[in-house]
Structure 1
């Protein structure tokens, strides 16, 4: 293992040479390197990051979904959903972040990383469960955190805080049943201080 990680700008140059025009951009922000890639090149770029000399990112340490909703960010082409990965090279003591935008907001799909890193399995299932992102090529893409009959994807910005259904135990049927949410939205009104001399101020 290297005693010291290379500097972010040096890593940026190395990755730029290895990936060429297959990426949208490679930026350094707050001493962290972020690679932006199109969905069409995602799998190929990730394979290069794992295998190419000078890259050697042996570990996928995190993968998550992102819902940008109506948030506008330069360079996103208006896409709503993204997948963000964090890779670690133990042998070279360096890290990189990769972000890929899902090209279709109605059916967000990107390639699965399970064939490259086995750790992607549960990460991708979580992103599917919570954001509804489909990982093409994943062999067991099913919910991992929500219940079997759960409707919707709770980390999407438009998912209601109270949910769509609630579970109760039915003593007659002797089992758990689902029913529409009975919680009414409430408005929290802040306390207004009206005392003229509050806190000893005159």
Structure 2
């Protein structure tokens, strides 16, 4: 029998009470409970959210990196990289989003939570691959989506749209080779095509 979902305000209060001073903020936005915790207490906070009787977030359903370097356009200042996790409590039918900022922009590091949830193993590898966030304590932090010889982290806002290198199979050498990108940078301007009676419209 599925339990009735708790109101977001009740979940917020339960999360805030369980985390105490470990949380920087716990609030509700668009019906979602969001907790921000400092990097120094990230692992402790996540373990509390998993084990506290009022929380019991047994599942880590998502974890991703974020690059906030262009958020200054809307007035946000602070650390460049963050890690955002989505936790689910099946037993209490409630969810929470947890955000932690990496203290060092030049070498973004936070603790791994792969010892708390096995699902974090691949999620953290993805965040490392795409954003360059290092997860301290992860047992196998390798690239997972890009090639082993890939240079850089393609989801960073300063990564060039055309990339740095391209790869192809060379039949003569019978192996994959890497070469500088041959695509010329260009600006693509969307074009609107209007046709008479398109889609049955007049």
Query: What is the aligned partner in structure 2 of residue 175 from structure 1?
Result: 175
Is the partner of 2:96 in helix, strand or coil?
strand
Distance 1:19 1:191, change over 3 A: closer
Quick one: distance in 1 between partners of 2:91 and 2:192? 58
Q: 1:65 to 1:191 in 2, by over 3 A?
A: closer
TM-score, structure 2 normalization = 0.90
Residue number in structure 2 paired with 1:42: 42
Alignment match, 1:55:
55
State the SS of the aligned residue for 1:162. Answer: coil
Equivalent residue pairs, number: 192
Q: Offset at 1:139?
A: 0.5
State the TM-score, normalizing by the size of structure 1: 0.90
Alpha-carbon shift at residue 191 of structure 1 (Å)? 5.4
Q: Give the Cα separation in 1 of the matches to 2:192 and 2:84.
A: 42
Counterpart contact for 2:3–2:91, Cα < 8 Å = no
Rounded Cα–Cα distance in structure 2 between residues aligned with 1:182 and 1:30:
45
The residue number in structure 1 matching 2:147 is 147
Instruction: Give the aligned partner of residue 26 of structure 1.
Output: 26
Structure-2 change in CA distance of 1:189 and 1:46 (3 Å) = closer
Question: 2:197 corresponds to which residue?
Answer: none
Per the alignment, residue 197 of structure 1 pairs with none
Instruction: Give the CA deviation at 1:168.
Output: 2.2
Gaps of 5+ in 2: 194-202
SS in 2 for 1:35: strand
User: CA, structure 1 residues 3+78, in 2 after alignment: closer, same or farther (shift >3 Å)?
Assistant: same
Q: Following the alignment from structure 2 to structure 1, what is the Cα–Cα distance between the partners of residues 166 and 52?
A: 50
Partner of 1:128: 128
- Once residues 13 and 77 of structure 1 are traced to their aligned partners in structure 2, the CA distance between those partners, rounded to angstroms, is 27
CA distance in 2, matches of 1:104, 1:4: 41
* Correspondence 1:84 to 2:84: yes
Secondary structure of the structure 2 residue equivalent to 1:161:
coil
| 2:165 corresponds to | 165
Paired with 1:52 and 1:82, the residues of 2 have a C-alpha distance of: 24
Rounded to whole Å, the distance in 2 between the matches of 1:88 and 1:147 is 32
For 1:17 and 1:32, the matched residues in 2 are separated by 17
